[in-house]
C-alpha cells in the first residue's frame, strides 16, 4: 500500500488572480500513491480507537475545507511575504560575512557570527525547507520553486526531498517504514529492537546535534537501503557524486572564500572560526526544532497494521497524533520556519508556512472535539521531553 501526503496541487489548479504568472521549470510533483476511499485501517491507533469510520471521514472533510480555504486565499500577500523573507535572509548573510572580514576585532566577530547564524537558520528553516516542499510553486517563479532551489545545507536538495517529502511525510512515524524515527542511529520507540549499541543513545544525540547537517547528508544516502538491496549501486554512486559537489560548494563558500578574503585584514582565522560557529549554531537549532516536532512525550508511533487501509481522514489523524508543536513568540515561529506548527505542517505540507499560525486554532479545536491529543508546549519543555525519551530508550526494556 502507498499513501500520498497531499491532494494533487498541480498547474491545473486554480491560481489567484494576483499571483505571479512567471512560468516555473516543470510542474509541481504529485506524490505517488492512493488512500482508501472508505472504511478504515485494519487497526486504528489506540489514541484514535474511539473514532468510528464515519467520524474519521467527517474529520477529513473538515480538514479538507481548511486546506481549500487557504488555497483559495493564496495571493499577492503570501508572495510578498516569501520575497521579503528572502531579502532579509540575504541581507543578514551579506552583513554577517562582511563583518567577519574584519573579525580580528572581537565586536566584529561576535556581530558577524551572530548575523551569519541568523541568516543560516532563516535560510534552512523558513526558506529552504518550505520552498523544497513546494509551498511556493503556485507562484510559478523559477527562482522560488521546489525544482530549482538549492539550500544552504550540505545535503543536496533532491536527496533530501526523496527521504523527507516522499518517505517521511508518507510514512510519518510508522516504525519500520519511516526511517526518520531515530534516523537509523537512535532508538526512539519502544517497538524498535534494543541492542547494546543503544546504550549510547544520549552520546550519539549529543554528537549529532552540532553536526546535524552532516548526519542528514549521510542519512539521505540511504545506505541501509543499499545494504539491504533496495537501492542500486548506480543510484548510490550518483548520490555520492551529488553530495561531493554540494560539499565542495559549501566548503568553498564558508571555509575558503570568506576566510581567504578576510586574510587581507589579518582576520582569516577569525573568519574561519566564525563560519564554523555559525554552522554549528544553525545545526543545533535545526536539530532541536526537528526533534521537538517528532519525539516529545505525547507523540504516537504506528505499526504497518495501523496504516493498512487508511482513508484520507485516517492519514490526517496519524499526522495530528504523531506530531508535536512548540508554543512561543512570532519571532520564535519564524526562526523555526513555522515548524513550531509541526502538526499543521504534517497535515498540510504544501501550504505556505506563513498560514500555519492562522489555521492552528482551527486544527486544535478539531482535535479537542474528536477527542484527539494536540501535543504542544514551550521549547524548553519539548526539548527536555525529547531528551528524556532519548535517555530512557537507551536502556533495555523491562521484562514483563
Kindly report, residue by residue over 30-75, the tens digit of the pLDDT. 333 478 888 888 899 999 999 999 999 999 999 999 999 999 999 9
| Average model confidence (pLDDT) across the chain | 91
- pLDDT the model gives residue 400: 65
Query: Buried b vs exposed e over 328-366: b needs ≥16 C-beta within 10 Å?
Result: beeeebbbbbbbbbbbbbbbbbbbbbbbbebbbeebbeb
pLDDT band at 392 (very low <50, low <70, confident <90, very high): very high
What's the distance, CA 332 to chain centroid? 16
- pLDDT the model gives residue 58: 97
d(CA 234, CA 13): 36
Q: If 0-12 CB within 10 Å is exposed, 13-18 middle and 19+ buried, where does residue 230 land? A: exposed
Maximum mean pLDDT: which of 10-19, 29-38, 180-189, 363-372 = 363-372
Q: Residue 311 phi/psi, 5° resolution?
A: -95, 175
Q: Residue 378 phi/psi, 5° resolution?
A: -65, 160
How many independent structural domains does the chain possess? 1
Within a domain: 4: no
Residue 377 CA neighbour count, 13 Å, CB half = 19
The torsion angle over the Cα atoms of residues 95, 100, 103 and 107, rounded to 10 degrees, is 40
Within a domain: 93: yes
Secondary structure (3-state) at 311: strand
Within a domain: 18: no
Within a domain: 29: no
C-alpha cell belonging to residue 138 = 503556485
Within a domain: 399: no
Q: Residue 201 phi/psi, 5° resolution?
A: -45, -55
Q: Residue 344 phi/psi, 5° resolution?
A: -65, -35
Q: If 0-12 CB within 10 Å is exposed, 13-18 middle and 19+ buried, where does residue 192 land? A: middle
Within a domain: 35: no
- pLDDT the model gives residue 15: 35
pTM: 0.89
Within a domain: 16: no
**pLDDT surpassing 80 at residue 389:** yes
Within a domain: 14: no
Secondary structure (3-state) at 302: strand
**Angle 108-150-219 from CA coordinates, rounded to 5°:** 95
Longest CA–CA span in the chain (Å) reads 70
Give the CA distances from residue 82 to residues 11, 86, 122, 142, in Å, rounded to whole numbers and listed in that order.
20, 6, 11, 14
Structural domain containing residue 308 = 46-392
- pLDDT the model gives residue 269: 97
Report, as an integer, the average pLDDT of 287-305.
94
Where is pLDDT greater, at 302 or 28?
Answer: 302
Report, as an integer, the average pLDDT of 267-293.
97
Amino acid at each position: 500500500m502507498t499513501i500520498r501526503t497531499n491532494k494533487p496541487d498541480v498547474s491545473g489548479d486554480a491560481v489567484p488572480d494576483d499571483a505571479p504568472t512567471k512560468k516555473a521549470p516543470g510542474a509541481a510533483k504529485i506524490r505517488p500513491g492512493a488512500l482508501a476511499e472508505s472504511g478504515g485501517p485494519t487497526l486504528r491507533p489506540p489514541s484514535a480507537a474511539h473514532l468510528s469510520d464515519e467520524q474519521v471521514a467527517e474529520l477529513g472533510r473538515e480538514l479538507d475545507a481548511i486546506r481549500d480555504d487557504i488555497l483559495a486565499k493564496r495571493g499577492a500577500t503570501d508572495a510578498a511575504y516569501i520575497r521579503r523573507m528572502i531579502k532579509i535572509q540575504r541581507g543578514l548573510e551579506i552583513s554577517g560575512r562582511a563583518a567577519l572580514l574584519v573579525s580580528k576585532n572581537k565586536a566584529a566577530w561576535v556581530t558577524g557570527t551572530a548575523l551569519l547564524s541568523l541568516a543560516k537558520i532563516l535560510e534552512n528553516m523558513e526558506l529552504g525547507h518550505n520552498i523544497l516542499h513546494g509551498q511556493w510553486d503556485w507562484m510559478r517563479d523559477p527562482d522560488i520553486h521546489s525544482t530549482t532551489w538549492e539550500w544552504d545545507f550540505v545535503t543536496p536538495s533532491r536527496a533530501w526531498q526523496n527521504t523527507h517529502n516522499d518517505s517521511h511525510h508518507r510514512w510519518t512515524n510508522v516504525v519500520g517504514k519511516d526511517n526518520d524515527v531515530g534516523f537509523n542511529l537512535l532508538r526512539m520507540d519502544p517497538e524498535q529492537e534494543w541492542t547494546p549499541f543503544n546504550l549510547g543513545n544520549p552520546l550519539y544525540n549529543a554528537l549529532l546535534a552540532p553536526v546535524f547537517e552532516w548526519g542528514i547528508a549521510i542519512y539521505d544516502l540511504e545506505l541501509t537501503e543499499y545494504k539491504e538491496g533496495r537501492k542500486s549501486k548506480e543510484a548510490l554512486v550518483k548520490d555520492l557524486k551529488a553530495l561531493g559537489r554540494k560539499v565542495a560548494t559549501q566548503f568553498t563558500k564558508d571555509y575558503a572564500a570568506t576566510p581567504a578574503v578576510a586574510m587581507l585584514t589579518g582576520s582569516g582565522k577569525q573568519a574561519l572560526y566564525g563560519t564554523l560557529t555559525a554552522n554549528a549554531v544553525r545545526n543545533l537549532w535545526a536539530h532541536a526544532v526537528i526533534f521537538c516536532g517528532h519525539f516529545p512525550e505525547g507523540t504516537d508511533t504506528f505499526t504497518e497494521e495501523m496504516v493498512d487501509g487508511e482513508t484520507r481522514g485516517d492519514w490526517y489523524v496519524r499526522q495530528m497524533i504523531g506530531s508535536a508543536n512548540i508554543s512561543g513568540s512570532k519571532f520564535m515561529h519564524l526562526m523555526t520556519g513555522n515548524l513550531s506548527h509541526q502538526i499543521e505542517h504534517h497535515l498540510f505540507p504544501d501550504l505556505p508556512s506563513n498560514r500555519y499560525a492562522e489555521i492552528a486554532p482551527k486544527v486544535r479545536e478539531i482535535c479537542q472535539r474528536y477527542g484527539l491529543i494536540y501535543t504542544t508546549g514551550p521549547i524548553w519543555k519539548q526539548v527536555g521531553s525529547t531528551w528524556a525519551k532519548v535517555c530512557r530508550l537507551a536502556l533495555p526494556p523491562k521484562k514483563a
